[in-house]
Amino acid sequence: MSGKRRLILLSVLASVFAGVFLGSGAYTFVSANGTSYLSNNPEVCVNCHIMRTEYDSWRHGSHHAVAVCNDCHLPHSNVVSKLYVKASNGYHHSKAFTLLNFAEPIRIKPGNAQVLEDNCLRCHGELTSEITAHGTLGVPTDPTRKADLYGCVRCHQEVGHGPMG
C-alpha cells in the first residue's frame, strides 16, 4: 500500500473512531441529563440510584436547611478547584456506576474527605478554632485507611446526612 493510501486510510479510521467516541459521549451526556450536573440542585445526586440513601438522609439531616451537596463536597477556594473536583468526581462516579465497580455503602476518597473537612472548618471555624489549633484533626493521606473516620466526621458522622440505614 502506498504512503498516500495509508495516510488516507488512517485519517478515515481516526475520523470514524473520533466520531464514535464523540457521538457516544454526546448521547450519554444527553440521556443522563448531563447539564443537570452543572447545577446546585441536590436532586441531581439521585440521578444515580446508589445515592438515594445519601440524598434521603441529607433531607432528614441537620444541614438540610443550610447546605446542599456542593456546599460540603466541593472546594470553595477558587473556581478552578471547584470545577476540577466536580469534573473528577463526575468522571469517577460515571465510570464506577457504568462498570458497577463501587463499594456499598459508597465510601468517600481521601481527597474528597479533605474537601469535606475543609468545608466543615470553613463554616464552623469560629466554633472549632480551639480544637483545630492543636492540629489533632485531619484526613489521612494513606489510601488504605478509612478517610471518613477522621476529622470532623469521626465524631459527627450523622451531621450532614442524618441517620443512614
Return d(Cα 68, Cα 45) in angstroms, integer.
10
Q: Look at residue 14 and tell me if it is in a domain.
A: no
Has residue 18 been placed in a domain? no
Cβ count within 10 A of residue 7: 11
125: containing domain: 32-155
Classify residue 62: in a domain, yes or no: yes
pTM (2 d.p.): 0.73
58 located within any domain: yes
Domain count of the fold of the chain: 1
Q: What is the pLDDT of residues 47-58, one digit of tens each?
A: 777 788 888 888
Tell me the pLDDT of the chain averaged across its residues: 83
Kindly report whether the peptide bond that precedes residue 105 is cis, defined as omega within 30 degrees of 0. Answer: yes
CA distance 110 to 99: 22
Q: CB under 8 Å to 113, separation ≥6 — which residues?
A: 139, 147, 148, 150, 151, 153
Could you read off the pLDDT of 4-16 as tens digits, one per residue? 889 999 999 999 9
Q: Is residue 71 part of a domain?
A: yes
Instruction: Give the domain CATH number at 105.
Output: 1.10.3820.10
Would you say residue 75 has pLDDT above 90? yes
Q: Is residue 69 part of a domain?
A: yes
Q: What digits encode the pLDDT tens for the residues 93-103? A: 878 877 888 88
The DSSP letter of residue 49 is G
Domain assignment of residue 82, yes or no: yes
Q: What is the pLDDT of residues 120-159, one digit of tens each?
A: 989 998 888 777 776 656 555 555 555 545 678 878 878 8
CA-CA-CA-CA dihedral for 119, 124, 128, 133, to nearest 10: 50
Separation of alpha carbons 75 and 64, rounded Å: 19
pLDDT at 91: 85
